[in-house]
Amino acid sequence: MRPFHPCLLIFSLYIFLAFSTPEAHALGQQGHLIVCELAYSSLSKPQQHTINNLIDQLPTSQRALINKRLNRPQDASLTFSQSCIWADAIRELESYGKYSTWHYVNVVRDSEKIVAIEDKRPDILSAMVVHDWQFKNAENVAEQLEALLFISHWFADIHQPLHVSFESDRGGNDTQVQSRDKRCKNLHQVWDNCLLRDLKMNQEGWRQAFTQVQAQERAQFNGVVSTENILQWSNESLAITRSKIMAYCHYAGNSRCEPGTEAIQYNDYYIQQNSPVLKRQMLRAASRLGVYLTNNLP
């Protein structure tokens, strides 16, 4: 295992700031920072240098969009982890509007497993195929940079369970939650924001956890974004989405996930049950992204 990169301190600070101010950004982007910094820390120095050089080529206008989300000066330089929110930041650009549905996949409520990637369907499954190909076959730096930022974002999104869920309530955005601090108001927000906050993981905790999981993932993942692997990751997330502990699905003697009639209680019990699940998913995302980049960067 290579030494842990000191830039992990960056996202530790972001996690603190994200909930220390009333107008904090969604911690969903903090999850991307963590996943990408952990993955980056596992790369060789030459590979890190290659990524740094690519990030330096980011257009000024797009760098400004990222820094705006991070409450930083618009012309500030960016690390790889900070750049991993690029796919969210560029949503407001008309030229990237078609990618808005690529962050997730919807399934029907009685589906227990995704069995195929539908060609040309604008969802995260196809997105991983498209940008994996682009990353490996880019004809210029701009294409390679775009593919890097997309595929790195997709690795995190596909491991967020509610990015593999149901259209009827917009992936949990319309499923109401009650919490003591009244800051966690819907289920998608809980899994983007609140559980990560309530994990209370510091730098050393993430480092140790990543070291343990990374060895296992390196043994199990071949670094290829294949149909088989994409389906595996999406079905891992779907299983969590449909699980009893998430409290998202209610079953009446069959496999159909029915929405509840009352708000989900976000309390200590919910945190105890679900925060280890979120932690595992983030570590999987970081480990798998790290293996992918290791295998596909010079």
Express each pLDDT in 75-100 by its tens digit.
Answer: 999 999 999 999 999 998 989 988 99
CB atoms within 10 A of CB 288: 25
Helix axes 141-157, 45-55, angle to 10 degrees: 110
Tokens 């407001």 label which residue? 92
| Contact of 259 with 7, CB cutoff 8 Å | no
Is the sign of the CA dihedral 280, 65, 290, 157 positive or negative? positive
Checking if the pLDDT of 133 tops 60, the result is: yes
Tokens 């290829």 label which residue? 224
Express each pLDDT in 269-295 by its tens digit.
Answer: 999 999 999 999 999 999 999 999 999
Mean pLDDT taken over the chain: 90
Provide the pLDDT for residue 240. 98
Domain ranges of the chain: 8-296
Alpha-helix residue ranges (DSSP H) falling in the chain = 8-18, 28-41, 45-55, 60-69, 80-83, 86-89, 124-137, 141-157, 187-189, 195-199, 203-220, 227-241, 268-296
Closest C-alpha to 38, from 267, 219, 293, 283? 283
Helix axes 227-241, 124-137, angle to 10 degrees: 150
Provide the pLDDT for residue 181. 86
Provide the pLDDT for residue 17. 41
Provide the pLDDT for residue 12. 47
Provide the pLDDT for residue 35. 96
Strand duo 164-165 + 105-106: pairing: parallel
Provide the pLDDT for residue 2. 38
Provide the pLDDT for residue 205. 86
Provide the pLDDT for residue 92. 85
Express each pLDDT in 151-193 by its tens digit.
Answer: 999 999 999 999 999 998 999 999 999 998 888 999 999 999 8
> Residue 172 corresponds to which amino acid?
G
Most confident of 13-22, 47-56, 174-183: 47-56
Q: At 24, is the pLDDT very low, low, confident or very high (cuts 50, 70, 90)?
A: very low
Give mean pLDDT, residues 30-54. Answer: 97
Position with higher pLDDT, 217 vs 2:
217
Does domain 8-296 sit in CATH 1.10.575.10?
yes
Q: At 252, is the pLDDT very low, low, confident or very high (cuts 50, 70, 90)?
A: confident
Express each pLDDT in 107-124 by its tens digit.
Answer: 999 999 999 999 878 999
Checking if the pLDDT of 13 tops 60, the result is: no
Percentage of the chain exceeding pLDDT 70 = 91
pTM of the model: 0.91
Provide the pLDDT for residue 171. 93
Distance of CA 116 to the CA centre of its chain: 21
Closest C-alpha to 128, from 97, 151, 104? 151
**CA–CA separation, 206 vs 208, rounded Å?**
6
Provide the pLDDT for residue 29. 86
**CA–CA separation, 59 vs 67, rounded Å?**
12
